[in-house]
Structure 1
Amino acid sequence: MGFAGNLKTVSLPDVFQLIVSSKKTGMLSISRDEARRDIYFRDGLLVYASSNSREDLFGNLLLKKGRISKAELDEILNTENEGKKIGALLVEKKLFSKEEIFECLKMQIEEIVYALFGWKDGKFELTEGKAPPASVIQTELNPMNMIMEGMRRIDEWEELKKILPPDDAFLEIVPEPAMKSEEMNLSRSEFMVLALIGAGKTLQKIVEESFLDQFLTCKSIANLLNMGLLKIGKHVAVDKTAEVEQKALIELLANVYIGNLIFIFSNLKEKLGAKGERVIYETFEENRMFYPVLNQIFSGRDGQVKLDLFVELYKRLPEEARIWRLVSNFNSLMNDYLIAVQKNLGNKIYRRVLSEIKINIQNTINRNRQIAMKYGLEEEFSRALRDR
């Protein structure tokens, strides 16, 4: 038998506990204003959740987490999919394995549910016996574990509110923090958030750009404020001069290509040793005719791209063609090395390397969205990986 009520009088943990204790099967719908979340249970276990919020859509979640590029998502969404879910299409396109999709779906379900613990009011109704759509992938999560994590987040949110500035406050990095570098022990989340801090960015803007969920982003900001690594600053107009823009563009190109080439080379050297160094050298020598621009700055023998030479080359190339020539040459180079990884290290390592590169590229684009959009670089970057 189903039931209904309001979160003002019955808390979400109490609703979950009732479903678990009676091993209910069905759909719990929770709505507030225009927002709606549907949570499905089977014998008291949470098996699926959906939301009508755009930010909770599976594709947007993957995009925000940096697991897929905007170009790849658009291509999937524009595909004639014959009713297939986006997860199935991603597997079909070999952008994700089934295991990766399953883990991402679990993450999506958790984020939908954890967000509900912040709701102080809202109508709920359990429709007993109602199952999830047949086309979705189901999992099994223990609601009691989610209750404990949700309650912990509620308590921690109250403490975070005492530390965090208003949403429209500008944050900036402290140039000379009192804490010594050897005393700093930053988590991965704190490093990721620190990388988002820039001139003219508010707390709200940083949360929107973060690949982490709102709770973890705000927790990291609070920790960085407490450590004296961040401070509340004044609004600083972003310098949009040509010189600053060109510097940002060079850094974007270098981060995408040089950073990912170093990652590819480290895998070849780590797995193959001296043979890996030969693979790096021979791959470049056999194909160097396809990237003539890079002959001056890249040495296949030691697998190094000299950053200072890269900057010099960028400035030396004709302005009207420099981006196209660099991107086309680097795309060819990276594609050849990915082929070498697949050939010498096998499909499993190749897929992992390719996945990491896609994540790195999307993260870099997200941090430099304005420049990437102005020069159409997201489409150009994805071109090198589209057929892989």
Structure 2
Amino acid sequence: MNSSTHHPQILFAAGEASGDMYAAELMPRLAERLPGVSAFGLGGAQSRAAGIDTIVDMDQVSVMGLVEVLRHYGQLRAAMNTLIEALDSRRPDLVIVIDFQEFNQRLAKEAKARGIPVLFFVAPQVWAWRPGRAKHFDRYADQLAVLFDFEVPLFARHGLPTTHVGHPLLDLVDREAPERATARHALSLTADETVIGLLPGSRKSEIERLLPVFLEAADRLLAADPERRFVVPRAGSIDPDWLDAQIEAADLTDALRARLSVTEGGARQVMAASDALLVASGTATLEAALIGTPQVIAYRTNALTYALARYLVRIEHVGLPNVILGRTAIPERIQHEATPNRLAPDIESILSRRGAREQRAALGEVRERLGAGGALERLADLAARMLAR
């Protein structure tokens, strides 16, 4: 091989669990198309396993909400400075930023100021809040890749090259989600017991707010049927001792402690094994929808953050499945409504034969609306074309 051959270098920026997963899936696809490609940047364990040099770990930046960002401003600034310094010292050929909007927009703007092309994957939800942002998004991206086809005209009409690649979860869920019987066997659950999955999020701040509520709702559900089982999957970003301490600190009955188990990772396994789910609003709600498990969506954040969001948000729904459907097919309990008094009856409703049947029909419609798979292949092709230019 000619020693002067240039091997492309990419900076990835994935500040959340879903972005880390997408970066890890994208890296080997790029290696197939671009022999010798290397990558570094912001990511987590999955990115590292895929060969990306994570000079900043996503645990350093994984916060959500105005108050939480202000509280962690110092470490966010340090992470940004590290990445900006790497733009100057390592001069990547392409920057691929994945969601994590406010942080990644700042980083992308710095890259563009240095003449480094930027591929931005996952558009800001301008259809939900601050629609005027679309006209200025070319400040942050040379190419935008979007999840939903209706997003293309929102950005393309302002002159930004915008490509609908689709949603990666279609392929990932179909490839990785086990069958119900297999999932139950792996979790030591019998075929006939009622299983309820508790998924309070992948950030500590989410878990601190939602896990106690989910556990209290589980106590009530267990009181109605003492044979029910409850499973909490621990996200890879969460320290097991910290999570155990959160559960230990909760005011649980002895009966629930005996019927509650924590799994290492395997959120999709828990989704597949469960009859119903309590899920923190986010990507997990769409994963569960694609697996076909009935769910209740919940979320709590800082009061100031919530008040600001209420002022800015212009859509009726928070959960991704409901956003895609344009109606409330899945119960949403946000902020003051996310209480055991609301969540336990919601779960009881979808455990009924009629409730489960109605929600599963709606979840099938979510899958149909997302269209064909192959999103990561299309995204890799797009990145390769940008590098070729």
Q: What range is the shorter-chain TM-score in? A: under 0.3
Query: When the two structures are superposed, what TM-score results if normalisation uses the length of structure 2?
Result: 0.26
Larger helix percent = 1
Larger radius of gyration: 1
Larger strand percent = 2
